[in-house]
Amino acid sequence: MGVLKRMRRTGWWHAGVRDPESVADHSFRVAQLAAMIASLENADPARASFLALWHDTQETRIGDIPHTAKPYLGSSPSNEAITADQTARLPEGMRKSVQEAVQEYEAQETVESHCAKDADKLECLVQALEYRSNGFTTVQGWIDTSYKALRTEAAQRIADAALQTSPLAWRGR
């Protein structure tokens, strides 16, 4: 997991962000957002947050591949296969817990997995808004595609609020 603290989110380099957040930074906020979305969707916030926590851990093996690179890479191992390799030496209970979380997230068949996936998209949207407020003007594509990908009403409401609020509004007057 320490690798994710040092690994930068590479897609932002296309927007000119020289020092983007780490994958761990992203995953932390995704987990928080997943819990909040789940609480508004009458789902299990702890489960949604747990799914979100593990959603990008495979990047310790394959890196953070930007969306634009994926068409050139062909077939790559599934996140479930990478997670199986990553957890192979863990005690059975730990291994099973992590593998089941990744499987549930990837299958997108539960409300909690929808909340976690929406949290991933919402975090990208919020990060783009923060970068835009710092002068990076070419991030609108991330905002638009992230918003369009949201499935839950709660995530859409949070996104709408974020789009109408300054990233520093929390500081008050």
What is the per-residue pLDDT for 168?
Answer: 86
Cα separation, 105 vs 51, whole angstroms = 6
Q: Tell me the CA distances in angstroms from 62 to 59, 66, 89, 111, 152, one per residue in order.
A: 5, 11, 19, 28, 29
Q: What is the mean pLDDT of residues 10-34?
A: 94
Q: What is the mean pLDDT of residues 135-159?
A: 97
Within 10 Å of residue 42's Cβ, how many Cβ atoms?
A: 8
49-67: pLDDT as tens digits: 999 999 988 888 887 788 7
Is the full-model pTM beyond 0.85? yes
Q: Which of 97, 102, 65 is nearest to 83 (CA)?
A: 102
Residue 51 tokens read as: 């799914």
What is the per-residue pLDDT for 60?
Answer: 83
74 or 169: which leads in pLDDT: 169
Q: pLDDT averaged over the chain?
A: 93
66-112: pLDDT as tens digits: 878 878 887 778 889 988 999 999 999 999 999 999 999 999 999 99
75 or 120: which leads in pLDDT: 120
Per-residue pLDDT for 47 more than 80? yes
Per-residue pLDDT for 4 more than 70? yes
What is the per-residue pLDDT for 173?
Answer: 62
